Structure formats: structure tokens, C-alpha cells
Structure 1
Amino acid sequence: MRRRPPSFSDDEGSLYSGSESASTCSSTDSSACDEDEVNVRMAPDWCAYRCLIEQRGFRLDTCRDVKLWYQRYWETLIAQGQSVSKDCAGYRRACAGGDEDDLCRDAGLPENLFRGTHVSSDTKVVIKAVHLSSREYDIVRYMSSYPLCKDPRNHLIPIMDFIEVVESNLAFIVMEEWSPNFVPDPPPTLRCFLGALRQCIEHAEFMHSHRIAHLDISIRNLLTDYNSHYAYIDFEVSRRFDDDPDPRIRCCRGTELSPERERGDWADPYKADIWSLSIVILHATSWTGYNLPELRPLLRSMQEENFSVRPNATEVLREFDDIVRRMSDCRLQSGPP
């Protein structure tokens, strides 16, 4: 059964928040260089766009929505025999918000994000405000376009709508709300866990095959729907290199930085992703308790100091599949320790 975690966080830097590190980014392709005015985070007046968003079938969370969500969540916990504390900052904010129809922003999210609901399906969503000319908007639209959206390797978070406000140079990306609890709630068997890791590798291979580097692959940017599906989010520092067959970048922003990026050296963006992906796999295996010595040679190759000898994403996926094929069914059906 799918289990949803609390939707309203009280910690800064939580779900969908991305990396906060200050940075500069440059590229050997001058057309791909950052323009600060379009690639910084937006801080829209959400009340001003509330009607427009509602016209597209989505409702931003109100004080009433937040209080109702907490009440239902507590009822679920009580039914499961768990103790409940109603001293939650999110609930207190909703109660102190004044009118029931006032918007109630989650303080755990940055100002460019707002929680909401798809009215017709009652699906919970997260809405992200971006500059209309930002790299993130370009990349997410591109990966959501046909035929890329039908590629089984594409594990982008499901996008429900793009809402453009041309006169404000603003766009809203409406995403399904998935959970960041990949590690605290591991898949029940090794086979399922390896399937989750494979989706992470496969999406990197998909992006690189379309000349996209994510550049901030990390546990915090991988979500799950609790139904064996995993997805990437946060393309704020990502790049497309359509006209550059051998791109190089200098970029010190991100969570899991390769050695060359840490030093501020010129880096191969795809091989930088490979390093970050290896750290994600290491963290995931460590935190879930799965012991996978079979992966160690592959991970060592992904962490080569010299990025030119690291495998590419296609080679990583091929080797990963070969490793899994050599495992016995009994091993694959075993659960975490």
C-alpha cells in the first residue's frame, strides 16, 4: 500500500528545495553561460497569481487545506495505534492565518515553491516558479515534450502543467507531489532496491543521451511515489549542450561535487554527474543497510580522480545490469538486514 508522508514540513531545505550553495557557473560554450537575471530563484507574489492558477484547475493550499490535512493525518496515526502530538508548527501557522481561505505557505519550502491540489483529481502538487527564459524551464519542457516524455528511461518527476505569464517573464511548473523518503523507507527486497538504483542510473543515461547534464544529482533530488517509481527534480543548475560535442564547465554549485568541480577546474559535465551518481548509490546502500560488495568495482571506476577515465552513463548502466544478472534469485528476494 502506498503511504504518504506529511505534506507540510517545518524544516528549511526540505522537499523540492534543491541546493542552496552560492555559486558561479561558466562554460566553454558562451551561449550556455549563466545570465543571472534569468537563472536566479523567483519569489512571486503567490496571491497575485492565485486566480490564474485556479483557472488552470489547481488550488493553492489555504489555511483550511492545511488544517484538514493535519487532522486526517492524525486520524490515520491514531487508527494505526500511534501516539499523536498536535503541537506542529505548520498546524499552528494555519490556525493563526486568519481567514480559512487565506493562502498558507509551507515555511519549509523556499519562496519559489508552493503546495497545492489538482482540483479534479485531488492529486497533491508542488508548483515551482521559474523565469520564463531560465535553463530549468527550457530543460523541463524539453524532457516533457513528445517523444521524450514517452521514453521509458525518462524518470523526470511527472509534470501536470506549465503555466506561463509572459508579461512577467514568469512560468509555473506544476509537479506531482512525491516523497523524498527514499532512504528512511527502503524498498522491501534487494530486487526492489536495485530497481530503484537502476532508475536513477537510467535517467542519467537518458539525460546524457540528449546532451543534458543534471549537475546536482543527490539523494535530496530523487523522489519516490511509494509505488516503485523514482524521479529526478531540481534542474536549476542543469545544462543542455546541443551544439557542443565535448563540453567543459566550471561550476561549484551542487550537493555531491566531483573533485575537479570542488577545485574549480574545468570539468566534463557528464562525468561530473557520474561522480555524483556514485555518491548517491553509496549513501543509499549505506543508509538502507544493504551490503553490495558486487558494486564496489563499478563505484570505484565512477569515482576515478581523472574524469576522462570514468565510465559514461551507458557503460555504468550496462555494468550495473550485468552485476544484477549474476545475482541469485534468493539473494534478490532477500530483505534489508
Structure 2
Amino acid sequence: MFSTDDEESELSTLLKKYLPEDYVPVPEGGLTSSEKFWCKHYQYLQDHGYQLRPRYAPGWVHSWKDTDKFYLDCEDGACLRRSHVIDAIHIPTGSAVAIKQLSKEIGPDEEAIMRYFSSEPLASHPHNHCIPLLDAFPVPDDDAEQFLVVPLLHSFDSPVFDTFGEAVECIRQLFEGLQFLHKHNVAHRDLNANNFMMETNSMYPKGYHPQEPLYEPDMIGFAKPFTRTQCPQKYFIIDYGHARQYDLNDPNPRDTKKYGGDISVPEYENDRGGTHDPFATDVYYVGNLVRTHFIEGHPLLPSVRGYDGFEFLLPLIDDMTQADPRRRPRIDEAVERMDQIIAGLSEWKLRSRTSSRSTNIFETVSHIFWHWARKIAFIYNGTPALPRPSH
């Protein structure tokens, strides 16, 4: 497991990434305007089998009242990071889920696409990385909105990748997931870092707080995860609000531009109302995600630093992010080239530790020590260098 020092060393940078851009602290941890919507529907959601945290219960009294505790150190002091998504517990099974407030106007095809990939035989296909739709029901007194229920997932890049093998497997699953969507003529059209997430089965033995993932559920101490090598995880593509499924008989579908979380799409610049190849745009999105989060770091987000040593991916990523979408490889070619790259990496490279760009000496020394302790154990026990999940 990661040491407490490892977790603390990442705290200052990760907190910046987790907080939304429009985040404004509420005095004394009071409810935000968007949270009041969830409080209003607390009983309705419970009647459907979903238990929200005590913060949203009728008559909630904050736990730090008449104490000297700081509200951000309390479990019920953590407000929502995304106003339209809330965590909950499925009462019959005790499993953690996320409930999304969907505007049918903004995401008219989202539920249909999710149902398509959540139905057999596609649901159990090993290449399917579409987040499963567990449940859906209407928002009361509002025909334009819907509640969608999905498994609770974790940011794909936290904790930091311990080895190149862990990072390469993450990227491989990202490519595989997009290939599966395109095979079924679905373009995501908003595949950015916020819409690619990770399950955490057994990775956090004591769990983590759903709104403050760096901490344990009670917010008393730091969450201490196993590495991905110890607990291989599956990654999922989420948020199909911009997605569309095109006519299977149309070999070259076109669509108008649709801005999402990544606004750097070259073909959208100087756009004059024309149409674009949505599948080529998806390829750009994936290539740019890999470039900014694994290779170079994000030009606008200092907390997203990237890693040293991933230059072996640059030829492929440069091709995927070419300004002319016609010159980009299709996702099938990108997957084939990625498989060839992985096959050419030695086991020593895959087991080598990652090093974040702009890291400091204290982070480096701590990471080296714990990395080698794990590495020796993995080699001795024959733990695979590429941590692929069994499902």
C-alpha cells in the first residue's frame, strides 16, 4: 500500500484538480443551492431504494455544531463536487452508486445509448468500457429531467501510477473502450479526463469519502489504497450527454461541432457552421488526453504534471492529434499500433517506477523506497507487470 507520506505529498496538487472551476466555499459548510435540490428529493430517492448521506436528510444538523471542529474535517461537511451528480448507497445491496440529474434537452440520447451498451450481449463483452446503467426513473414534477443511476467510480489518475505498466494498461483500456463505441457507430464527442474513470474494487480496503477521495469515509485519516498492480482495475467511459449513435449504413457520418470539456479540437477553430467527422474528433480527444495527462502535462492545469519517460508514445499521439482530421488514424489503427508498442516494451520497463514532471526530491525519495519494496515482492510472487482485470 502507499504510505501516508506518499498520500500527503500529493494532497496539495490533487485537491486543486478535484475542486470544480466554479467552486465557491459555503460559510460553515452550509448547503449550496444545488444541494438543496437533492435535499428536496431525499425521501423520493429513498423510496426508490437509494440512501443519501446524512448531509441531505430532512432536519440535518451539522456534526460540528457547538464543537471546535473545522467543518471540512467532518464527514458531513463535504459538499458536492458536481452539482448534478450525487453519491448514494443502494439500500438492498449496500453498494455505492452515483445518481445523475439528467436534462433530456442537454443529453437527449444519453439514456438510450447507455441502455444499449448495458444490455446483453454487449453488457458482458470484455471490451465494453461504457459505464453500466443500473436504474433510471423520472424526476418528480419535471418531465424534462431524469435520474440515472450508475456505479460509483473514482478519478482514473488518482492515486498516481506506480509503474509504467499500470499507466500503459490504463491507456490500453481507454483505446479499447473508444474502439468498442466506434464499432457500434457511437461517437462520444466529449472524451476528456473528467469522463474517463476507474472502478476501485478492493483497491481501498477501508474505502474513501465519495466527495473527498483522498480521505477515509469518516474523514479522520487519509485513504490508503493498494496499487493498481496489486488490485487491477477496469476503466470506464462516462457521460454520454454529447454522444450520438449514427446510421449503421452510413460509412462516413458527419455532424456539427459540439464543445465539451476539451475545447482544443483543431477542426472546431474557424468553424463556419460546417460539419465534421465525429469519429476523427474522438480520436483527437483520446490522443490529447494521453498527451496532457501522461506525457507533457496540462498547459492550463499546473496540478496535472504528466510523467517522464512516456516519449515512446509520442509518434502515435502526434498522429492522433494532427490538425487535419483526415490525417488521423482511425481508432482500429490506433489500437493496433498501441498493441505493437506494448509488445515492444520490456518487463523491466513495465515494472519501472513512474516519475511525475516537476516533482520534488522528497516525493522522489519516498516513491523510490516504496516502489522498490513492492517491486521485489511482485517479481518474487510473479505478479503480472501489466495489471489487467479478470473481467
TM-score, length of structure 1 as denominator length: 0.72
Distance of aligned partners of 1:146 and 1:310 in 2 relative to their CA distance in 1, 3 Å threshold:
same
Indicate the residue corresponding to 1:261 in structure 2.
268
Q: CA deviation at 1:314?
A: 0.9
Indicate the residue corresponding to 1:78 in structure 2.
none
Q: Distance in 2 between matches of 1:177 and 1:189?
A: 25
Q: CA deviation at 1:283?
A: 1.8
Farther off after superposition, 300-309 or 206-215: 300-309
Q: Structure 2 residue aligned with 1:53, among 34, 40, 45?
A: 45
2:175 corresponds to 1:198:
no
Q: Structure 2 residue aligned with 1:87, among 61, 65, 70?
A: 70
Matches within 5 A, 1:240-259: 240-242=245-247, 244-256=250-262, 257-259=264-266
Indicate the residue corresponding to 2:285 in structure 1.
276
Q: Structure 2 residue aligned with 1:11, among 7, 13, 19?
A: 19
Q: CA deviation at 1:320?
A: 0.1
Q: CA deviation at 1:274?
A: 0.4
Q: Distance in 2 between matches of 1:167 and 1:210?
A: 35
Q: Which amino acid aligns with 2:239?
A: D
Q: CA deviation at 1:159?
A: 3.2
Indicate the residue corresponding to 2:337 in structure 1.
319
Q: Distance in 1 between matches of 2:71 and 2:164?
A: 35
Indicate the residue corresponding to 1:332 in structure 2.
350
Which secondary structure does the structure 2 equivalent of 1:193 belong to?
helix
Q: Structure 1 residue aligned with 2:112, among 119, 130, 138?
A: 138
Q: CA deviation at 1:312?
A: 0.8
Q: Which amino acid aligns with 1:171?
A: Q
Q: Which amino acid aligns with 1:275?
A: Y
Q: Distance in 2 between matches of 1:205 and 1:150?
A: 16
Q: Distance in 2 between matches of 1:122 and 1:131?
A: 27
Show structure 2 runs of 5+ residues with no match: 24-33, 201-230, 296-304, 356-391
Q: CA deviation at 1:217?
A: 0.9
Q: Distance in 2 between matches of 1:309 and 1:297?
A: 13
Indicate the residue corresponding to 2:148 in structure 1.
173
Q: Distance in 2 between matches of 1:296 and 1:141?
A: 36
Query: How well do the aligned residues superpose, as a CA RMSD in angstroms?
Result: 3.7
Indicate the residue corresponding to 1:106 in structure 2.
79
2:237 corresponds to 1:232:
yes
Which secondary structure does the structure 2 equivalent of 1:254 belong to?
coil
Q: Which amino acid aligns with 2:19?
A: D
Indicate the residue corresponding to 2:185 in structure 1.
211
Q: Distance in 2 between matches of 1:252 and 1:146?
A: 30
2:294 corresponds to 1:285:
yes
Q: CA deviation at 1:118?
A: 1.4
Is the contact made by 1:241 and 1:247 (CA closer than 8 Å) also made in structure 2? yes
Q: Distance in 1 between matches of 2:85 and 2:276?
A: 31
Q: Which amino acid aligns with 1:113?
A: V
Q: Distance in 2 between matches of 1:238 and 1:223?
A: 17
Q: CA deviation at 1:2?
A: 10
Which secondary structure does the structure 1 equivalent of 2:89 belong to?
strand
Q: Which amino acid aligns with 1:232?
A: I
What is the percentage of aligned positions where both structures have the same residue? 24
Is the contact made by 1:258 and 1:275 (CA closer than 8 Å) also made in structure 2? yes
Q: Which amino acid aligns with 1:115?
A: D
Distance of aligned partners of 1:322 and 1:291 in 2 relative to their CA distance in 1, 3 Å threshold:
same
Distance of aligned partners of 1:14 and 1:280 in 2 relative to their CA distance in 1, 3 Å threshold:
farther
Tell me the alpha carbon deviations over residues 151-206 of structure 1, each in whole angstroms, 9 at most, x when there is no partner: 111112243322246974342111222112x3342232211211100111111101
Which secondary structure does the structure 1 equivalent of 2:256 belong to?
strand
Is the contact made by 1:153 and 1:206 (CA closer than 8 Å) also made in structure 2? yes
Which secondary structure does the structure 2 equivalent of 1:125 belong to?
strand
Show structure 1 runs of 5+ residues with no match: 16-41, 72-84, 96-104
Which secondary structure does the structure 1 equivalent of 2:86 belong to?
strand
Q: CA deviation at 1:268?
A: 0.4
Which secondary structure does the structure 2 equivalent of 1:128 belong to?
strand
Q: Which amino acid aligns with 2:275?
A: W
Indicate the residue corresponding to 2:99 in structure 1.
127
Which secondary structure does the structure 2 equivalent of 1:150 belong to?
coil
Tell me the alpha carbon deviations over residues 274-325 of structure 1, each in whole angstroms, 9 at most, x when there is no partner: 0110111112213342412221111111122221121111111110000110
Distance of aligned partners of 1:140 and 1:306 in 2 relative to their CA distance in 1, 3 Å threshold:
same
Indicate the residue corresponding to 1:149 in structure 2.
123
TM-score, length of structure 2 as denominator length: 0.63
